[in-house]
Structure 1
Amino acid sequence: MIDRRDALAGIVAMFGSQLFAPIARAAGAASQQAFGVINTGPPTVQVFTPAQKAVMIALSDRVIPATDTPGAIAAEVPQYIEKLLADWSEPSDRVPIIAGLDAIEARSRADYKKGAAAVTPAQQDALLTLAMNDTIPGGAAFFEPFRQMVIVGYYTSEIGITQEREYLPVPGQYDGAFLYSKVNKVYSS
């Protein structure tokens, strides 16, 4: 069975040189087997205010929502993000994430008269789109690192590895005419 450490070490290639620095640090440490498991225990420092944490949780759920498989919340991605930022980031790495959450909160209050954690999923998607398109202050600096943390947190979690993906050490025989419509899950080895 693949574990988070192995998955994290292998994820570096997916993002290449654009990998968010704390993820790269954790992946480097995981590949050297120099540290313990990075997703256990409480964060060593408080990264988010309660309001920022609520927004981060809500937006994590919008990046990978629950469908026929569990989403980011069930995979404990918000806890992973908080632990990653607390224990594997420099203070300067946290600045765009915190500024982005604050900018999204301010835009939500201006546009919807509610905090970003309390608006509808469609409105949260619109707020994330504004960040992605860099139409809110610090949007681009926030969006890509945040998206990477959610994706890495999800696909290195037990849920991501065992329920979203199907682990087949030997995927079976080759069939060059296998219909794509018969593929249920992405195969991983």
Structure 2
Amino acid sequence: MIDRRTALAGVVTMFGAGLFAPIARAAGAAQASRVPVISDGPPSTAVFTPDQRALVTALSERIIPTTDTPGAIAAGVPMFIEKLLADWGVPDDRKPILAGLDAVEARSLKDYKVSAAKATPKQQDALLTLAMNGQIPGGKDFFEAMRQMVITGYYTSEIGITQEREYLPVPGEYNGAFPYSQVNKVYSA
């Protein structure tokens, strides 16, 4: 069975040179040692305030929502993000995330008169789009780092590995004429 350490080591290929520094550090440690890279349990120190934690949770679920498979919240992505930033991030790594969360919150209060964590999913999507397009101060850096952490946390979790993707340790035969309409899951090996 594939584990988080193995999956994390494969994330480097997915994001390439633009990999967010704490993810790169954790992935490098995964390749260099046999110790658990990101252990279960709480982060070594709190990175987020309760309001920021609620916003990270809401935005994570907007990036990978619950559909026919569990979403980011069910996969424990918000806790993964805080643990990644606490245990593998340096203060400079946290700055764009914390500043981005504050900027998203300020924009939500300005535009919608409600905290971003309590905004509707449509409003949260609009806020993420503004960040992605650089229309919020520091938005591009925040969005790219947030997106990478959510994807990494999700696809290295048990839910991401076993329910979103189908793990086949030995893939089946090659069938070049397999109809695309019959592809249900992306396979990982």
- By the TM > 0.5 criterion, same fold? yes
Shift of 1:28: 0.6
Moved more, 38-47 or 160-169: 38-47
Structure 1 residues 21-170: aligned runs within 5 Å: 21-33=21-33, 35-170=35-170
AA aligned opposite 2:43: P
Distance in structure 1 (CA, Å) of the matches to 2:163 and 2:37:
21
Shift of 1:45: 1.4
- Per-residue CA distance 1:95-150 (angstroms, 9 max, x = gap): 00000000000000000000001010000000000000000111011000100000
Distance in structure 2 (CA, Å) of the matches to 1:65 and 1:4:
21
AA aligned opposite 1:53: R
Distance 1:77 1:39, change over 3 A: farther
Partner of 1:174: 174
Task: Tell me the percent identity.
Answer: 72
AA aligned opposite 1:170: V
AA aligned opposite 2:56: M
For residue 67 of structure 1, give the secondary structure of its aligned residue in structure 2: coil
Contact 1:43–1:83 under 8 Å retained in 2: yes
Distance in structure 1 (CA, Å) of the matches to 2:169 and 2:94:
37
For residue 184 of structure 1, give the secondary structure of its aligned residue in structure 2: coil
Moved more, 174-183 or 71-80: 174-183
How many aligned positions are there?
189
Calculate the aligned-residue CA RMSD, in Å: 0.9
Distance 1:130 1:39, change over 3 A: farther
Distance in structure 2 (CA, Å) of the matches to 1:28 and 1:125:
32
AA aligned opposite 1:106: A
AA aligned opposite 2:25: R
Moved more, 172-181 or 121-130: 172-181
For residue 118 of structure 2, give the secondary structure of its aligned residue in structure 1: coil
Contact 1:165–1:186 under 8 Å retained in 2: yes
Q: Any unmatched runs of 5+ in structure 1? A: none
For residue 117 of structure 1, give the secondary structure of its aligned residue in structure 2: helix
Moved more, 42-51 or 2-11: 42-51
For residue 65 of structure 2, give the secondary structure of its aligned residue in structure 1: coil
Contact 1:39–1:80 under 8 Å retained in 2: no
TM-score normalised by L of structure 1: 0.98
In the TM superposition, structure 1's runs of 4+ consecutive aligned residues that sit over 6 Å from their partners are: none
Distance 1:116 1:39, change over 3 A: farther
AA aligned opposite 2:69: T
Q: Any unmatched runs of 5+ in structure 2? A: none
TM-score normalised by L of structure 2: 0.98
Distance in structure 1 (CA, Å) of the matches to 2:149 and 2:47:
15
- Per-residue CA distance 1:34-78 (angstroms, 9 max, x = gap): 533414122111101111111111000000000000000000000
